[in-house]
Structure 1
Amino acid sequence: MGQQITDQIAFLTEARTALEELGVARDREKQLKQDEGKWGKTLDGEKRALEETVNSTVKKRRDAISTSYDEEIEKAQDKLKKARVKREKAKNQGMKERIAEETADLRKENRDVDGEIRKVLKGARVPSFCNSRWYFALFMPAHFGEYFAFLAAVLICFLAIPYGIYMLIPGRQPLYLAGIYFAVIVVFGGIYILLTNRTKARHLETLRDARVMRDHIRSNRKKIRVIEKSIRRDKNEKMYNLEKFDDEIAQLEQEIRRISTQKQEALNSFEQVTKTIIADEILSGAKPKMEELTARYREIRRALDETEEEIKRRNLEITDKYAGYLGKEYLDPMKIGELMEAIRSGRASNISEAIEAVKADRSQQGSSARA
């Protein structure tokens, strides 16, 4: 940097050449960076595509294994479901037969009592409709259900029906409602009194006997329901001969567990061995192309590193040799050419004078332009 310049033109020529070579290196660096980006994206894209191919293939193979075992498990589960349904049907049939057997005496007794009621009523010439649940509920209620039915009948006959008729009449007036209620009371009340006189009043003792027998039937029905409930709650199933169904269900459950275990083992083997083999096969097929892309990228990267190192070295050389004489402003090939022209034309004898001459020329050109 402190060397004495003996040949101004030669010094400037060397400086311009060094700057031009630096410019060439920078252009090369720019192109290499573009190439690096392009080939880097290409390489990354190929890597991603290869990874997606591996993942997709592995997933398909894994799903194929899982689906195959799932189909077998589903078949076994369908068989298990059918076996359980058959067992439940057999159990229900067994309970029905057991209920029928254990309640046979009560049912027979009810049939006999019902026949006796019919015989008694017929012998006393009591109308057949008197041997009905509704008749005893309306004319001889004795239980909660019958009282409830009696109340419902009263509400329907003396509230719902008259009010419904009243609502259907256009131009409704309270007098109409009173008339409707009067008519309803006369009709339904008259029918009730008429039936009472012709049945209950005439055959009270017979109907009382029928009442007692009907209560006996009702009591037997309660006993039957208790027996049915007890049988259905009984957890002892030995008497239903369900062993063959239980054996079939146990075998199917064991088969499902076996297939599930095999499935898990197959998936574990796939993850530990087959998956790696598949990946290696795919990667091996793509290896030549990937090696070519990688080599090209590394070549560009190496050239870029060398170019960057060259630029760094040239920058330091230019700074060391020429910056002290030219200054940062004149470290430019075109401006150095202007300095060389000033020296050749005799307007300057050294670099400092050339710089002043160039500045003066620019100042003069600026003044002329403003004028």
Structure 2
Amino acid sequence: MALPITDYTAFFAGAKQAVQELEQLRERELCLEESEKTLEDQLRTREKAVADTIARTVKARGEEIARSYDAEIGKTEDQLKKVKAKREKARNQGVKGRIAEDTQSLSKENEELKGRIRTLFRANHVPGYCAGGLYYSLYFTRGLKEMGILLLALLIFFLAVPCGIYFAVPERKTWYLILIYLADILIFGGVYVKIGNSTKMKHMDALREGRSIRNRIQANKKQMKAIARTIRRDKNDAVYNLEKFDDEIAQLDQDLLQTNKKKKEALAAFDTVTKTILSDEIMESNKPEIDRLQGELAKAVEELKAVRTELKEKTLYTAENFEAYTGKEFMTMERLEALEGFIRAGEARNISEAVTVFKSRDRQGTPQ
């Protein structure tokens, strides 16, 4: 319960002292708040820097381990590719040799048959061009290949040539095309008929026998292709003596498997053990600074807590013992001195009257 004031000098002295103490406590609170924020920022920055250093270091060391193993894996893979290439080359050589060996008799027979054609044609004075594949395709057509050659020749001489000539003429007219086709038929058709008549009429028996021999040669070639196809499809490589390559490939595959296994083990060990050691080492080297900042921050927090407690108590004390009489708006050094001056000068008998005088003069603009 508030008591009447009997000693205004003591009252105003106490009030002014309370105001000063409150201002000091507020300044101290503000200073400690700034100090707390600064220390928190410094600590957070330091902890982030340590965390970033740990992350970078761990990542770099892990990548170094992986690169070291990858380099060895790459070397082994390169060796493996080279050995496989050598094996494939050796197999291809073996396949070629096997094909040559298995088709040797047919190849030899074909050479003999070709010789028979040359001997036959020389003995019968048949022109040399009649022994070629083009002649037999045009005049003794047999099989899809020769039919294709005949069709291609017809397209060239009776379509491509006349159309080419027609489109090369500056002024194109329909009767030009008719004349070109007639000339083309007469020229190429005439040459075709002339060659056929001159050779068939004189050497029909020899040409037919040549046809028969060529049929035999083609049959042998077809058989040789079938033999080669069968050999290439054969998956049994035992006949090619590739064991040394297979052994080396198996060894390299095993080395590759072991290196990959060691890489996984090394990375797993790094993640479970080494990474922790690296983190602890970095944390340990930064621990004194972090401990210092944490200690200073804890001290600042504790001091701020004590100041706020004292400020709260002082604020409540001031409100109860001084503001209750003067009002909160008069709890400043200047206004308290003005109120005290009114009472000393006899212009007011108590604080309430002093407040009234102050407000009256404040409205009139009179200096206090």
Fold agreement, TM-score > 0.5: yes
Q: Distance in 2 between the 1:22 and 1:100 partners?
A: 113
Map of 2:162 onto structure 1: 162
Map of 1:287 onto structure 2: 287
Map of 2:243 onto structure 1: 243
Supply the AA of the counterpart residue of 2:313: R
Q: Distance in 1 between the 2:338 and 2:185 partners?
A: 133
Map of 2:97 onto structure 1: 97
Map of 1:263 onto structure 2: 263
1:157 partner SS: helix
- Normalising by structure 1, report the TM-score: 0.91
* Superposed CA offset, 1:116-151 (max 9, x none): 122222222221112222222222211122222212
Is 1:203 aligned with 2:213? Answer: no
Give, in angstroms, the shift of residue 355 of structure 1.
1.8
Equivalent residue runs for 1:220-239 within 5 Å? 220-239=220-239
Q: Distance in 1 between the 2:326 and 2:159 partners?
A: 121
Q: Distance in 1 between the 2:217 and 2:345 partners?
A: 144
Q: Distance in 1 between the 2:344 and 2:178 partners?
A: 138
Map of 1:333 onto structure 2: 333
* Superposed CA offset, 1:176-213 (max 9, x none): 32332222222212221221122233322322221222
Map of 2:132 onto structure 1: 132
Map of 1:106 onto structure 2: 106
Map of 1:45 onto structure 2: 45
Q: Distance in 2 between the 1:249 and 1:62 partners?
A: 30
Q: Distance in 2 between the 1:357 and 1:285 partners?
A: 69
Q: Distance in 2 between the 1:212 and 1:6 partners?
A: 153
Q: Which runs of 5+ in 1 are unaligned?
A: none
Q: Distance in 2 between the 1:317 and 1:107 partners?
A: 125
Q: Distance in 1 between the 2:338 and 2:173 partners?
A: 122
Q: How many residues align?
A: 367
8 Å Cα contact 1:325-1:351 kept in structure 2: yes
Q: 1:364 to 1:222 in 2, by over 3 A?
A: same
Give, in angstroms, the shift of residue 318 of structure 1.
2.2
8 Å Cα contact 1:87-1:245 kept in structure 2: yes
Q: 1:210 to 1:355 in 2, by over 3 A?
A: same
Map of 2:216 onto structure 1: 216
Give, in angstroms, the shift of residue 252 of structure 1.
0.9
8 Å Cα contact 1:65-1:267 kept in structure 2: yes
Q: Distance in 1 between the 2:276 and 2:204 partners?
A: 97
Is 1:81 aligned with 2:73? Answer: no
Q: 1:191 to 1:340 in 2, by over 3 A?
A: farther
1:201 partner SS: helix
Supply the AA of the counterpart residue of 2:7: D
Q: Distance in 2 between the 1:133 and 1:300 partners?
A: 107
Return 311-320 or 73-82, whichever deviates more: 311-320
Q: Distance in 1 between the 2:319 and 2:135 partners?
A: 127
8 Å Cα contact 1:90-1:242 kept in structure 2: yes
Map of 1:24 onto structure 2: 24
Q: Distance in 2 between the 1:343 and 1:165 partners?
A: 134
Equivalent residue runs for 1:8-19 within 5 Å? 8-19=8-19
2:235 partner SS: coil
1:203 partner SS: helix
Q: 1:148 to 1:5 in 2, by over 3 A?
A: same
Give, in angstroms, the shift of residue 243 of structure 1.
1.4
Q: Which runs of 5+ in 2 are unaligned?
A: none
Map of 1:60 onto structure 2: 60
Q: 1:153 to 1:359 in 2, by over 3 A?
A: same
Give, in angstroms, the shift of residue 321 of structure 1.
2.4
Q: 1:9 to 1:139 in 2, by over 3 A?
A: farther
- Normalising by structure 2, report the TM-score: 0.92
Q: 1:179 to 1:333 in 2, by over 3 A?
A: farther
Map of 1:144 onto structure 2: 144
Q: Distance in 2 between the 1:309 and 1:132 partners?
A: 119
Map of 2:4 onto structure 1: 4
Q: 1:172 to 1:335 in 2, by over 3 A?
A: farther
* Superposed CA offset, 1:269-324 (max 9, x none): 22232222222222222222222222222222222222222222222222332333
Return 267-276 or 213-222, whichever deviates more: 267-276
8 Å Cα contact 1:141-1:147 kept in structure 2: yes
Q: 1:134 to 1:311 in 2, by over 3 A?
A: farther
8 Å Cα contact 1:9-1:343 kept in structure 2: no
Map of 1:353 onto structure 2: 353
Q: Distance in 2 between the 1:248 and 1:228 partners?
A: 29
Supply the AA of the counterpart residue of 2:131: N
8 Å Cα contact 1:120-1:206 kept in structure 2: yes
Map of 2:120 onto structure 1: 120
Q: Distance in 1 between the 2:119 and 2:268 partners?
A: 81
Give, in angstroms, the shift of residue 338 of structure 1.
3.0
Q: Percent identity?
A: 41
2:171 partner SS: coil
Supply the AA of the counterpart residue of 1:88: E
Give, in angstroms, the shift of residue 9 of structure 1.
4.0
